[in-house]
Chain A
Amino acid sequence: GENVEQHPSTLSVQEGDSAVIKCTYSDSASNYFPWYKQELGKRPQLIIDIRSNVGEKKDQRIAVTLNKTAKHFSLHITETQPEDSAVYFCAGYITGNQFYFGTGTSLTVIP
């Protein structure tokens, strides 16, 4: 089955700096890659996603890139703010199958 690995497990950045979280996947059948943000005590919520026919997608301060050849995708957060502090999960999805989640990255933005 699919295996999604996520790094780093923890990340601290100064407010205003950029943060990058990286994930790799193993199954080339994965065709959808969402990123979820989970604040303390809350449910995971989708923040951005990318499909396998797209290389990059941006939404204001967040962007995701996908390299299908290398089987990795990354989340980029620019101009980080304290409210970006949370746990972030990547996932790979195979149509008609299931989501395979990474183990999460705890991001702390230091004011």
Chain B
Amino acid sequence: NAGVTQTPKFQVLKTGQSMTLQCAQDMNHNSMYWYRQDPGMGLRLIYYSASEGTTDKGEVPNGYNVSRLNKREFSLRLESAAPSQTSVYFCASSDTEAFFGQGTRLTVV
């Protein structure tokens, strides 16, 4: 049972480049989330998906897009990366208890 699998673990981008962070869960959860974590600011919600086929903005959605490809997978896309998007990104899934992926450390230079 892998839980929540998130790729890649590390990424360096140049300003203006695009990339997609992948997330998959094998717990048959309905809800999936993308958070970013910055020092002193806790976990801030970017987007979430309460069920397959639905997505909603969280606290900090600007500069990001998401796709709930199916019940298992929820991807996060940065179309034109900016230095302000340097952060650690966590994917999570839940029915009640939330389970987190191992995180992606993204640096935009």
Range of interface residues on A (Cβ < 8 Å): 20 to 34
* A32 proximity list for chain B (CB < 8 A): 96
User: In the complex the two chains form, what is the Cα distance from A98 to B99 in whole Å?
Assistant: 13
**B96 partner residues in chain A, CB cutoff 8 A:** 32, 93
* Whole-angstrom CA separation of A42 from B90 in the bound complex: 10
Contact count A vs B, C-beta below 8 Å: 49
In the bound complex, what is the Cα–Cα distance between A6 and B56 (angstroms)? 25
Q: Say yes or no: B90 contacts A104, CB within 8 Å.
A: no
Interface residues on B, range: 20 to 34
Chain B residues whose CB sits within 8 angstroms of the CB of A89 once the complex forms: 42-43
Say whether A34 faces chain B, with CB atoms less than 8 Å apart: yes
Whether the Cβ atoms of A96 and B50 lie closer than 8 Å is: yes
A36 to B44, CA, bound (A): 15
Main DSSP-derived SS at the B contact region: strand
Instruction: Say if the beta carbon of B106 comes within 8 Å of chain A.
Output: no
* Interface hits, B20-59 → A, CB 8 Å: 31, 33, 35, 40-45, 48, 50, 56, 58
How many Å from the CB of A21 to the closest CB on chain B?
A: 13
A92 interface hit (Cβ, 8 Å)? no
Query: If the complex has contacts A93-B96, A98-B58, are A43 and B43 also in contact, measured as CB distance less than 8 A?
Result: no
- Please, how many angstroms separate the alpha-carbon atoms of A98 and B48 in the complex? 8
- Residues from chain A with a CB closer than 8 A to the CB of B43 are 44, 89, 101, 104
Q: Which residues of chain A in 33-67 are interfacial with respect to chain B, using CB atoms and an 8 Å cutoff?
A: 34, 36, 42-46, 49
Which residues of A are at the interface with B, using a C-beta cutoff of 8 A?
6, 9, 32, 34, 36, 42-46, 49, 89, 91, 93, 96-99, 101-104
Measured CB to CB, the residues of B under 8 A from A are 31, 33, 35, 40-45, 48, 50, 56, 58, 90, 92, 94, 96-103
| 14 residue pairs A–B, Cβ–Cβ below 8 Å | A9-B40, A34-B97, A43-B101, A44-B43, A46-B99, A96-B50, A97-B50, A98-B33, A98-B48, A98-B50, A101-B42, A102-B42, A103-B41, A103-B42
